[in-house]
């Protein structure tokens, strides 16, 4: 239906223009109908829209339209027609829709048709036949060339706009994916994935600021050519936007150039937010020509779009650390301990594996605080957390249970193994000289005082001693109470405590 209305409107407009130009109704009416019908057919078949080239079809369409235009000009006065300029329409149509080659052929055909039109109506009253013929012979091809150049510029601009649209769409998709990232690892992997999609690099890596803010540490890396040895860290003072070609030997002395010794060119781009530098994005290429200006521009856009999601994830990680870790010891707090114990007990029950819980308490800690002061007690708790981490396995999860009590979750650990771990903890704490916070004067001058403490330890095991988390904690606490009753600085297992109580 839209094609019919468009064809009728085009035919009515053409007929009105022809009648207004002085044409007779009898020739103008069929010509206007033919123009409208041709327009309708071209719209239905898609001949006026860019498509795969077809010389026969394109030539036939252009020839038919040219013939209608020539007849229309002839019917409205020939060389004296006020609508003589419509003879240029086929040239513009052929050039803009099908290219300069067909436009030039059409311009030559229209020049010949215009010359025939002049001959059919006799010599122009104001100029000779040679003058109009020369004007037509030169003007029509020039118009075709001009339209062809304009078409080429439009196509180039459209290609640039399409490329920019694809880049913006890709960046928006990347931003949406990164906004949905739930942890730091996923965010870093998305950054590396997007870099590899926009750059054929040897390796790409993300460096983030360390906890003390003095160095940038390698946190994630990926490469297309296997494992690449990268610099694990470098000072924050060396972090800056740097894009270099390393084929010049003197430049190899740069710290940034030594991140990947095998790279021929590299780019270091800052990952910065409103609060300052978060880290650096490193891209290393095997060839010096791998980092063009367009590629660097895309990489800078990726770095800019990645900064805010990265900052959000880092803040969430900090909040989680504050919510689930004990600030004095750096161990898990009671909330994290409860969640971890529930998860580990469910896993042990599902796979029918043992799980042990070790509970320890500092002997005479109240007396320690009353004698040396609470600052010294806080210093002792912090150092004890370090000792506890150093004497445990990687799979064990220590936590501060409350006050001077600590707890250790030992997955895949039976009664015998738990007792050995508890004894190792007790012995390590007993042999450690803990530094006090305060410095006191002595005969030899100022010296930092140290002290030694002991702990009582109780342990219980799933499924032999308990079947639930509550029972497991209660049985470990009973074993701890028995260790204190036995004189402190000792280890008791729940099964051993039950046996002693029975005797």
Domains and CATH numbers, the chain: 46-156 (no CATH), 184-324 (3.30.450.40), 334-502 (3.30.70.270)
Residue 457 has pLDDT above 80, yes or no: yes
Residue 351 has pLDDT above 90, yes or no: yes
> Is-contact 483 454, C-beta < 8 A?
no
Query: Phi and psi dihedrals of 89, rounded to 5?
Result: -60, -45
| C-alpha span between 469 and 342 (Å, rounded) | 7
More confident residue, 43 or 280: 280
Q: What is the pLDDT of residue 447?
A: 45
Residue 340 has pLDDT above 70, yes or no: yes
- The SS3 of residue 203 is strand
Q: What is the pLDDT of residue 23?
A: 65
Give the percent of the chain with pLDDT over 70. Answer: 70
> Is-contact 68 38, C-beta < 8 A?
yes
Mean pLDDT of the chain: 79
Residue 192 has pLDDT above 90, yes or no: no
| Strand partners of residue 397 | 409
| Angle at which helices 25-45 and 2-20 cross, to 10° | 150
Which of 11-20, 139-148, 254-263, 417-426 has the weakest average pLDDT? 11-20
Which among 404, 412, 448, 496 is annotated as catalytic?
A: 404
Does 242 qualify as catalytic in the annotation? no
| C-alpha span between 207 and 279 (Å, rounded) | 5
Residue 311 has pLDDT above 90, yes or no: no
More confident residue, 497 or 141: 141
More confident residue, 451 or 323: 451
| C-alpha span between 177 and 493 (Å, rounded) | 50
Q: What is the pLDDT of residues 137-162, one digit of tens each?
A: 667 777 777 777 887 888 888 888 88
């Amino acid at each position: 239906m839209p094609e019919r209305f468009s064809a009728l409107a085009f035919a009515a407009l053409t007929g009105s223009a022809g009648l207004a130009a002085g044409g007779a109704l009898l020739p103008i009416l069929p010509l206007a109908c033919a123009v409208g019908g041709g327009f309708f057919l071209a719209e239905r078949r898609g001949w006026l829209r860019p498509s795969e080239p077809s010389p026969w079809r394109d030539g036939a369409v252009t020839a038919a339209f040219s013939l209608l235009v020539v007849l229309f000009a002839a019917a409205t006065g020939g060389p004296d027609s006020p609508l003589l300029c419509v003879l240029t329409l086929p040239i513009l149509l052929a050039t803009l829709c099908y290219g300069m080659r067909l436009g030039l052929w059409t311009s030559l055909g229209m020049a010949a048709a215009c010359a025939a039109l002049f001959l059919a109506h006799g010599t122009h009253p104001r100029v000779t036949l040679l003058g109009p013929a020369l004007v037509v012979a030169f003007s029509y091809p020039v118009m075709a060339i001009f339209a062809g150049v304009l078409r080429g510029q439009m196509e180039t601009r459209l290609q640039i706009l399409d490329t920019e649209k694809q880049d913006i769409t890709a960046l928006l998709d990347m931003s949406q994916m990164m906004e949905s990232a739930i942890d730091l690892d996923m965010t870093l992997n998305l950054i590396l994935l997007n870099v590899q999609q926009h750059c054929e690099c040897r390796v790409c890596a993300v460096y983030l600021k360390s906890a003390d803010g003095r160095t940038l540490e390698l946190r994630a890396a990926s490469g297309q050519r296997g494992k690449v040895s990268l610099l694990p860290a470098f000072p924050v003072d060396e972090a800056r936007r740097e894009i270099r070609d390393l084929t010049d030997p003197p430049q190899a002395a740069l710290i940034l150039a030594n991140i990947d010794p095998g790279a021929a060119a590299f780019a270091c781009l800052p990952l910065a937010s409103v609060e300052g530098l978060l880290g650096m994005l490193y891209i290393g290429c095997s060839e010096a020509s791998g980092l063009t200006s367009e590629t660097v521009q895309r990489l800078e856009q990726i770095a800019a779009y990645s900064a805010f999601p990265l900052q959000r994830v880092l803040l969430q990680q900090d909040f989680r650390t504050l919510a689930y870790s004990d600030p004095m010891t750096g161990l898990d707090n009671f909330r994290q301990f409860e969640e971890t114990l529930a998860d580990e007990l469910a896993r042990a029950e599902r796979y029918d594996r043992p799980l042990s819980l070790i509970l320890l308490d500092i002997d005479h800690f109240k007396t320690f605080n009353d004698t040396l002061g609470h600052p010294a007690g806080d210093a002792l708790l912090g150092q004890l957390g370090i000792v506890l981490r150093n004497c445990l396995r990687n799979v064990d999860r220590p936590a501060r249970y409350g006050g001077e009590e600590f707890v250790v979750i030992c997955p895949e650990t039976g009664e015998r193994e738990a007792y050995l771990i508890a004894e190792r903890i007790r012995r390590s704490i007993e042999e450690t000289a803990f530094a006090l916070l305060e410095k006191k004067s002595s005969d030899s001058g100022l010296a930092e005082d140290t002290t030694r403490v002991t702990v009582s330890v109780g342990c219980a095991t799933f499924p032999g001693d308990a079947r639930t988390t509550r029972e497991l904690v209660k049985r470990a606490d009973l074993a701890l109470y028995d260790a204190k009753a036995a004189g402190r600085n000792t280890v008791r297992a729940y099964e051993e405590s039950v046996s002693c109580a029975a005797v």
